[in-house]
Structure 1
Amino acid sequence: MKPLIGRKEEKKILEKALASDEAELIAVFGRRRVGKTFLIREVFNSNMILEFSGVHNATLKEQLGNFRNRLAEIMKQEILPDVPVGWTEAFEMLKKYSEPLLKKEKCVIFLDEFPWLNTPKSGFLSAFEYFWNSWGTKQDNLILTICGSAASWMIQKVVNNKGGLHNRITKKIRLLPFTLAETKEYLESRDVKLELYQIVLLYMVMGGIPHYLKEVEAGFSAAQNIDKLCFTKDGILKNEFDNLYQSLFAEADKHIAVVKALNNTPMGLTRKEIIAACGLSSGGRATLLLDELIESGFITSYIPYEKNVRDNIYKLSDEYSRFYLKYIDNVRATGTGTWMKLSTQPTWKSWSGLAFESICLKHITEIKVALGISGVYTEESIWRNVPGKDECGTGAQIDLLIDRNDFCISICEMKFSSAEFSIDKAYSIELKNKLDIFQQKTKTRKTLFLVMVTTFGVKQNMYKPGLVQNDIILEDLFK
């Protein structure tokens, strides 16, 4: 088995459960392909007495048949018992199998893709609640781990359950994609040696998703790997988009509509703007849909500076979705060499800038360390000013500001380039205007520090001194 990369805190949580002298019910959730199953197997492997996974869109009869077959396999039964008539009977079979083993040692039962087991009118969730409450809670040697890629379902139906599972979850883990540093470590564990710039190019396309990164081949550049994975007929990312959303959401078309709307508006949209753009109803269903996308890791909400949650701005944060919608969806060009050609087009410069900005927003912790303020309390937000009809002047937008408890605000500008970034006269005026407008509109008395986050640093010229206070480069994002 490959070594477990990152996941240090998550591993501690699972190991604590192994040392517990009480029954544990653990919920693990996160975006599809993020490595949930691998983590659970890696930590619990020697204690696992049953691993069973739901099947997407399978019928109740098929799920129960699979459950019977799995139990018969691990119990080495040559004559198969009857398929249980329902989940209550299935859990009775599980109890009979587990009880002798629980008397000897700590045992783990792992139910993977838990939401898929809850087929319509199956009674699965109520049967599971009864199974856990009437029997599981009394088994001091039992760790029951449930896992699901439908993160929003896991949170609503299990973690925040108001019925029989209310407050029954003893530990929960939301597994996030790899950071840049973890991505580098993961690639190196697979003998893929790439410079940081090349790793960022890969991250722009597939994010920190282990299942995608696993397909990166050693000895090939980022462009060559992207070409193979996204544009050849057998590339795993060529047709992943629809499969990804359809497997997670019952009304996937609505979720995809929101993702496309946000992709078309990089500066982000408010809830009201999303509803208008996608033709959604303004009730709780829209809120639930947005929550589902957030919990599954596809979009992120940001509270604007000096605003509250009602003014949230939503942005697309899934790297693969952004890349797919720009370069794969409805693009006629396919086959080897496609990406090598597309990546030289003018659209690449603006797209890569947006992609890099999104990556930076996921590495605020690393940015704070580079600024020497990791120990300072901060609040991160975005800010935008749109002049009213009666106002003169241009608007301004800040995609990351770090409001610090030491009476300073770090205004971050993120720029992606293949060499040192050069500030020219026009851009220096734009930056100064942005700082001035922010100070005027917010009336802040805090000191403003302009932070440039770039790939290879900001070139020393006549426009940098006195304007740029902090210079953060790729190496800082990988720490």
Structure 2
Amino acid sequence: MIIKRREEKILSEERGWILVYGRRKVGKTFTIRRAIPWDLYCTITRSGNVILEEGSNRKITSQENAIKKVTELLRENKTVVIDEFQRINPEYMEIIALEHPNGRLIASGSSFKIFQEIFSKRSPLLGLFSAIRFEIIRTADVIASISELLKDKLDVKGTLIWGVLLRDPWVIPMFNVENNPIEEISRKIWQIVMTSQSLIGEVFTEEERRLTRTYEAIMRLIAEGTWDLSELASILSSRGLISGGRESITGVLDVLSKIGIITKIPLWKSRKRFYYKISSPIVSIALYADQKLGISEGIGQLGDKGILYYPLGMEFQFSIGELLAEYYNAMMSYSILPEGDIDVVLLKRNRPIIAFEISLGSVEDEEIKRLRNMAEKLGIRKIGVVSIGEKYEGKEAVNVAMSGDDIIKIARNIAAGIYGRSI
């Protein structure tokens, strides 16, 4: 199954030299090969050699020979792709720079370090590339694709849950999307957990960083729902992994955010600035299950599928929140109050425009009343509800009520470039 993502259109239309960068396994190579009719495709291996593809011909050669071929074709105004660009010998960067603006060069790198190197003051390539950052697939793109490809095989709830789970491209071939998503995860949980761990290790390798016990402990704690800096610092300090308070882990969290492992969601009217979560929904669910059951240690199996509902609900909340933020041309935030949470608060110019309750099931009047009370305390005048079970038609007044069908329609509109709606 192929998810049509908007980066494909951007790549096909962008002219000149392009740097495509992002963590491993987010679909960079797949999208480049689909979107760009290239004349030469070079993949730099971990050993430093280069796999050259020209038409149906493929061979392995040295970087020196590959660069000669690259410069030759650029002078002929051909299109050249260099994949795993972060592995290139630095001395060849200057040779490549001399060919600008000849031809069309797409450099793809599986690290954020390569972005910093190319756009640093001392880089010979500074100013020669426009940059496109790849992250996990946007929620709207996945839902829009699934709803078209499997419209006769999935119900609305299944479409939306898969729309969240399949945002990380590496997991797409692993699942039979026509099956129940909870059943599929349950059957393949060991494979998902082990692949997630390997992926994280690969990300650190490409960034030339060591996956220390501190990094791993923070990721696992965040996956479990521990996001407060003081609480994280206290736990890590008690384990002897850090010394000092919350300031000692701020830099670690910044690194994890920069390399695409965690996401920082702004908190509205809370004493803390950010809520930290694992960026990939499927990796987040895998680490949560592993923390609870010790799957990677061979200790437990996923006997009770109910353990998946909490992390799935949280991932659904934030993924749909991202979709709504796109639709209304706003920024998504979250609010945590002593009396409860507001699932999504949409902001424009740092002011709240609406608070949303998001549910995989139905929503009761009491929940809407609670949402309105909390919103009013925060100065939020409008409230909305997304209920996948059925559209809310209760006694409490809401400004926006959406069903699962409405979310699918919105996803299709966003994928088609129709968004920026006012509330």
TM-score interval for Structure 1 and Structure 2 normalised by the shorter chain: 0.7 to 0.9
Greater radius of gyration (CA): 1
Alignment of 1:387-402 (within 5 A): 394-402=338-346
- Correspondence for 2:108: 147
Q: Is the 8 A contact 1:414 1:454 kept in 2?
A: yes
Q: Distance in 1 between matches of 2:335 and 2:24?
A: 31
Q: Distance in 2 between matches of 1:405 and 1:330?
A: 40
Q: 1:302 to 1:223 in 2, by over 3 A?
A: closer
State whether structure 2 residue 51 is matched by structure 1 residue 51: no
TM-score, structure 1 normalization = 0.69
State whether structure 2 residue 35 is matched by structure 1 residue 37: no
Letter of the 2:157 counterpart: Y
State whether structure 2 residue 416 is matched by structure 1 residue 472: no
Q: Distance in 1 between matches of 2:320 and 2:375?
A: 20
Q: Distance in 2 between matches of 1:229 and 1:31?
A: 24
1:254-291 CA-partner distances (Å, limit 9, x unpaired): 3322222222336x434x65445445577999555333
Shift of residue 243 of structure 1?
A: 0.5
- Correspondence for 2:319: 359
Q: Distance in 2 between matches of 1:329 and 1:265?
A: 11
1:330-389 CA-partner distances (Å, limit 9, x unpaired): 636799xx76x522x3x4544433222122232133553xxxxx5xxx45433344xxxx
State whether structure 2 residue 221 is matched by structure 1 residue 261: yes
- Correspondence for 2:69: 97
Shift of residue 51 of structure 1?
A: 1.8
Identity of aligned residues (%): 18
State whether structure 2 residue 325 is matched by structure 1 residue 383: no
Shift of residue 171 of structure 1?
A: 1.4
Q: Distance in 2 between matches of 1:193 and 1:52?
A: 38
Q: 2:196 aligns with which of 219, 241, 249?
A: 241
Alignment of 1:204-223 (within 5 A): 204=164, 206-217=165-176, 219-223=178-182
Q: Is the 8 A contact 1:207 1:318 kept in 2?
A: no
Shift of residue 405 of structure 1?
A: 7.0
Shift of residue 186 of structure 1?
A: 4.3
Q: 2:280 aligns with which of 286, 296, 318?
A: 318
Letter of the 1:465 counterpart: E
Q: 2:189 aligns with which of 223, 230, 242?
A: 230
| RMSD between aligned residues | 3.9
TM-score, structure 2 normalization = 0.77
State whether structure 2 residue 136 is matched by structure 1 residue 177: yes
Matched position secondary structure for 1:162: coil
Letter of the 2:79 counterpart: C
Q: Is the 8 A contact 1:352 1:416 kept in 2?
A: no
1:455-476 CA-partner distances (Å, limit 9, x unpaired): 1345544xx323x332122233
State whether structure 2 residue 385 is matched by structure 1 residue 452: yes
Q: Is the 8 A contact 1:191 1:218 kept in 2?
A: no
Unaligned stretches of 5+ residues in structure 2 = 412-423
Q: Is the 8 A contact 2:359 2:388 kept in 1?
A: yes
Q: Is the 8 A contact 2:345 2:353 kept in 1?
A: yes
Q: 1:364 to 1:258 in 2, by over 3 A?
A: farther
Q: Is the 8 A contact 2:84 2:110 kept in 1?
A: yes
Shift of residue 429 of structure 1?
A: 5.6
Q: Is the 8 A contact 1:30 1:295 kept in 2?
A: no
Q: Is the 8 A contact 2:358 2:386 kept in 1?
A: yes
Matched position secondary structure for 1:398: strand
Q: 1:304 aligns with which of 256, 267, 274?
A: 267
Q: Distance in 1 between matches of 2:224 and 2:3?
A: 37
Q: 1:423 aligns with which of 365, 369, 372?
A: 365
Unaligned stretches of 5+ residues in structure 1 = 56-61, 85-89, 119-123, 369-373, 386-393, 440-446
Letter of the 2:21 counterpart: F
